[in-house]
Structure formats: C-alpha cells, structure tokens
C-alpha cells in the first residue's frame, strides 16, 4: 500500500510540473518554431509572397513586350517598303516618283485637273510623229508657221464648263513645259500653245515633234503634268520674229490684230497716243479667238502711237507705228522694225 501511495504521489507531482510549465527544455523547440513563423510572416518569402511575385510577373511581361517591340521593329523595314512600292502609282508630282510605268500609252481617259501652275492628266498627240510637221496655227489663227514644238490645251475641266486654261484664246502663244510617264521614266518637253483640244478628256495634245520626244513611235494617251512657262530662250517654239499681224479684210472702219511669236501669252494690248493724249485699252474679240479690236479713231489717222503688249511673264514689248498701218489687211508689223 505504501508503495502504491508513493507512486500515486509521484504521478501527481509530475502532473503539477507540466501544468506550471516548469520543464522549459521540452518547450524550446515549439517556441523556436513559432519565432520562425513570426519572422517568416514579417519578411515574406519570395516563393510565398504575392507582392513579391508581382514584379517577377511584370518583368516577364516587360521582357515579352520588349520581345514584341524587337519583333515589330525588325519587321518595320518590310512595312516601310510599302509606300515606296506604291509611289510608282502615285500622282506625277509626288516626291521621289521616277515616272516609270508599264502600258504607258494606255492611260485611262479622265477629266484633267488644274494645279497652281498648270495641270495634270492626259498627254496625247495629233499630227505625225514620223514626219515632224510644223503648226498650221490652229484655233489661235496664226496660219502657217515654222513652229515644230506646239500643242493644244484643254478648254474644259468637266465637259462644257469652259474652266480650262484655254480661256477663249487667251492661252494662245503661251508656252507649257510638259512631262509624261514612260517606261524609261519621266520625259519632258516645252511647247507653244497654238490650238485648243477637241477631246473632252484632253489635257495637253502635242504636235508630232514633241510627241515623238516623249512617246517615240508608241503613240497613245499618256499620264503627265504640265506647267505654264515663258517662251523666251526656248528652242523650237519660235516660228519667226515677234510681230503684230493685221487680220485680212481690215480697213479704216474695222480692224482686228494679234501678236505672233510672243514671249508668252498676251494679257493686254494698249495704245497710247504720241502726238495726242489718246489712250485705248483693246478688247479681245468675242468668237474670234486670239484677236483684239482696234478703235476706228486710230485706224483713220496717221498720228503716231505706242502699242504696248503686256505678257503673262517677262518684259513688255512696244511698237511705234502710225494708226493707219493697223488698217492694212495682212500687214505683218515686226517688232524689230518698229522700235525707237
């Protein structure tokens, strides 16, 4: 009995020690483990922390994005080549356009376009490119000329609107620098306007010699553009010396005149009295293109006059003549013979 009682007392003593936490050595591993958890919670591990994993993911996306940028930048030259190849079909005036084309003589007929200095559209031919004929004067009423480099210009933009540069004949005598697309690239030529186009889709209709320079023996409708320029110093556009020509049938009661081989298209013709203070601004004849009406008062006197012609460009020309000289039909009053 005493032995059992002693054992029972020992058991009770051990239980009391456990309940009071007296055996610190047994609890140490547990305390150490909880400290690790506390440290772990205050300093998240790279593997378990979502806040730390986000930059990793972001960096991966940046690398992916960077890879895409590099990929797109490496593809950039291919995409930048596209405009270069499409420029071959761009308008004639576009920068970097070499003017080369295929089936150049089969340009689709369309209304010409006006530009600040001229226009663009169809470049065609009338006359022979084999026999380089001279102009017969056309609608500008110049008659037979020695001009090989000549052309007709369009009357309309849209059919019947009269908005083209012909302008009832005011374009007569002016020069146009034309360039057109060919298989060899741009080809250019300068011509004098002596006629108007009959074709509704005409832009510039070249005589045989200038057409040959551009088209060779392959005549047709070409795509091109043109610009109005001065005729001064241009080979091939001069038929003779500059003159005032009096229309046949003129008399002391009626006379109309024109300027042949002008420096450029004529803007105005004015008559100033030398012996008097007379002044006349001539009017262009309606329906008879490229002629100007001379007042009867000038025709019926031998008084001296200065006839001043103003051009679209360049310096004026001035004749010194008697009024009655403008009443002689088919008189050709050369500038070099009527200067002071």
Which pLDDT score, from 0 to 100, does residue 164 have? 96
Which pLDDT score, from 0 to 100, does residue 95 have? 56
Q: How confident is the model at residue 198 (pLDDT cuts 50, 70, 90)?
A: confident
CA neighbor of 272 nearest in space, from 233, 251, 235, 298: 298
271-292 CB burial, b ≥16 within 10 A, e <16: bebeeeebebebebbeeebbbb
Please report where in the chains the tokens 């020695």 appear, as a residue: 146
Strands 175-180 and 187-196, by their bridges, are antiparallel
Q: How confident is the model at residue 68 (pLDDT cuts 50, 70, 90)?
A: very low
Which pLDDT score, from 0 to 100, does residue 117 have? 96
Q: Which of 78-92, 156-170, 268-282 shows the lowest mean pLDDT across its residues?
A: 78-92
Alpha-carbon gap, residue 233 to 109, rounded angstroms: 33
Which pLDDT score, from 0 to 100, does residue 340 have? 85
Q: Cα-atom radius of gyration of the chain, to the nearest Å?
A: 47
Please report where in the chains the tokens 């051009």 appear, as a residue: 311
Structure tokens at 187: 């080809």
Q: Does the pLDDT of residue 182 top 80, yes or no?
A: yes
The continuous run of DSSP H or E covering 297 comes out as helix 296-299
Which pLDDT score, from 0 to 100, does residue 96 have? 74
Question: What is the value of pTM for the model shown?
Answer: 0.71
What is the pLDDT averaged over residues 108-115?
A: 96
């Amino acid at each position: 009995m005493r032995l059992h009682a002693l054992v029972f007392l020992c058991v009770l003593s051990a239980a009391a020690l456990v309940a009071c936490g007296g055996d610190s050595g047994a609890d140490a591993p547990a305390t150490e483990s909880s400290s690790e958890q506390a440290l772990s919670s205050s300093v998240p591990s790279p593997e378990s922390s979502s806040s730390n994993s986000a930059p990793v993911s972001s960096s991966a996306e940046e690398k992916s994005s960077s890879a895409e940028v590099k990929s797109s930048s490496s593809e950039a030259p291919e995409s930048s080549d596209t405009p270069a190849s499409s420029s071959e079909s761009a308008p004639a005036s576009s920068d970097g356009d070499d003017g080369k084309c295929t089936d150049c003589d089969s340009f689709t007929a369309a209304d010409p376009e006006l530009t600040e200095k001229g226009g663009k559209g169809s470049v065609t031919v009338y006359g022979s490119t084999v026999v380089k004929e001279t102009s017969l004067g056309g609608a500008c009423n110049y008659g037979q000329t020695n001009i090989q480099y000549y052309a007709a210009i369009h009357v309309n933009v849209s059919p019947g609107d009269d908005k083209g540069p012909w302008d009832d004949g005011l374009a007569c005598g002016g020069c146009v620098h034309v360039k057109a697309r060919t298989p060899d690239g741009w080809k250019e030529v300068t011509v004098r306007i002596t006629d108007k186009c009959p074709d509704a889709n005409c832009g510039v209709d070249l005589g045989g010699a200038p057409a040959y320079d551009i088209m060779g023996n392959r005549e047709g409708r070409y795509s091109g553009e043109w610009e109005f320029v001065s005729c001064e110093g241009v080979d091939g556009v001069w038929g003779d010396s500059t003159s005032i020509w009096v229309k046949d049938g003129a008399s002391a009661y009626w006379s109309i005149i024109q300027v042949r081989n002008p420096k450029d298209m004529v803007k105005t013709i004015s008559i100033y009295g030398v012996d008097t203070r007379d002044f006349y601004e001539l009017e262009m004849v309606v329906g008879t293109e490229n002629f100007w009406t001379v007042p009867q008062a000038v025709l019926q006197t031998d008084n001296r006059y200065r006839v001043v012609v103003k051009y679209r460009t360049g310096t004026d020309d001035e004749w010194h003549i008697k009024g009655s000289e403008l009443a002689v039909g088919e008189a050709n009053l050369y500038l070099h013979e009527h200067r002071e």
